[in-house]
Amino acid sequence: GAGVSQSPSNKVTEKGKDVELRCDPISGHTALYWYRQSLGQGLEFLIYFQGNSAPDKSGLPSDRFSAERTGGSVSTLTIQRTQQEDSAVYLCASMGRSNGVMNTEAFFGQGTRLTVV
Amino acid sequence: GIQVEQSPPDLILQEGANSTLRCNFSDSVNNLQWFHQNPWGQLINLFYIPSGTKQNGRLSATTVATERYSLLYISSSQTTDSGVYFCAYSGAGSYQLTFGKGTKLSVIP
């Protein structure tokens, strides 16, 4: 597709369950980010993928959070044993080459709104 | 650690007024972007501007890398400009984009 696509748009889950959030980046973009945004707050960095390099996981808040990027394209963010404080909008962005320069503008998906009840 | 500070945190404008939003960052810059988050939550990139000046219609941006700040100018504001404006920054040798806390802009008719 033309833009970054995230699914599902909304997810309601019970406390303690595992959830998987999906991100389809713009075709050809080598960089992919996950962020979390709580209501009325800024964006909290979670994880960054760049090509085949080891991901930067420094923003993951606990070992319940993990992410994969298969084949350098689609990414999945997994939250195990969800807690109420995990409720937030999870945003994915991708970046690629623009005018011969790598990693310039980030393009965001519409986000997944996660509610843990 | 990396710091990105935006000011003002909130801004209310009468339609037609001009405004300047500021972003200060703590180190040398690799990437600097401005985003608009509309009331539906969608983030739209406005400018990629690690240095220099760019203009797009009523919006323009300037980054002075040596003094570690960037400015976003909105002229002749419209109600559709309402939302939250974020700057995002990464330092030299890093691709981790750190976001400021944003400026919430409300344009009233």
pLDDT in tens, B7-38: 999 999 999 999 999 999 998 998 999 999 99
Burial class of residue A90 in the structure, from the number of CB atoms within 10 Å of its CB (0-12 exposed, 13-18 middle, 19+ buried): buried
Q: What is the pLDDT of residue A94?
A: 94
Residue of B33, B44, B96 with shortest CB distance to A45: B96
Give the residues across from A50 on adjacent strands: A31
Can you give the pLDDT of all 109 residues of chain B as single tens digits? 778 999 999 999 999 999 999 999 998 998 999 999 998 899 999 999 999 999 999 999 999 999 999 999 999 999 999 999 999 999 888 888 999 999 999 999 9
How does the average pLDDT of chain A come out, rounded? 92
In the three-class reduction of DSSP (H, G, I as helix; E, B as strand; rest coil), residue B13 is classed as strand
- Assess whether the previous peptide bond of A55 is cis (omega < 30° from 0): no
Per-residue burial over A6-34, b if 16 or more Cβ lie within 10 Å, else e, is beeeebebeeeeebebebbbbeebbbbbb
Closest-CA residue to A91 (of A31, A21, A17): A21
* A100 pLDDT higher than 70: no
Residue A2 pLDDT greater than 70, yes or no: yes
Query: Which of B41, B44, B95 has the CB atom closest to A48's CB atom?
Result: B95
d(C-alpha B85, C-alpha B3), whole Å? 17
What is the spatial distance between Cα B65 and Cα B13, in angstroms, rounded to a whole number?
28
Query: Please, which residues bridge with residue A47 across strands?
Result: A34
Mutate to test the interface with B, among A39, A43, A53, A104 (most CBs of B within 10 A): A43
**DSSP assignment of B44-90:** EEEEE-SSEEEEETTEEEEEEGGGTEEEEEE-S--GGG-EEEEEEEE
Is the CB of B95 less than 8 angstroms away from the CB of A103?
Answer: yes
pLDDT at A102 over 70: no
Q: What pLDDT shows up at residue B95?
A: 82
Mean pLDDT score, A24-52: 92
Contact A23, A3 (CB under 8 A): no
Residue % of chain B over a pLDDT of 70 = 99
Across the interface, of A33, A42, A107, the residue whose CB is closest to B101 is A42
CA B82 distance to own-chain centroid:
13
Minimal C-alpha gap between A17 and chain B (Å): 26
Q: List, as one string, the DSSP characters of A7-49.
A: E-SEEEE-TT--EEEEEEPPTT--EEEEEEE-TT--EEEEEEE
Residue indicated by tokens 């600097």? B32
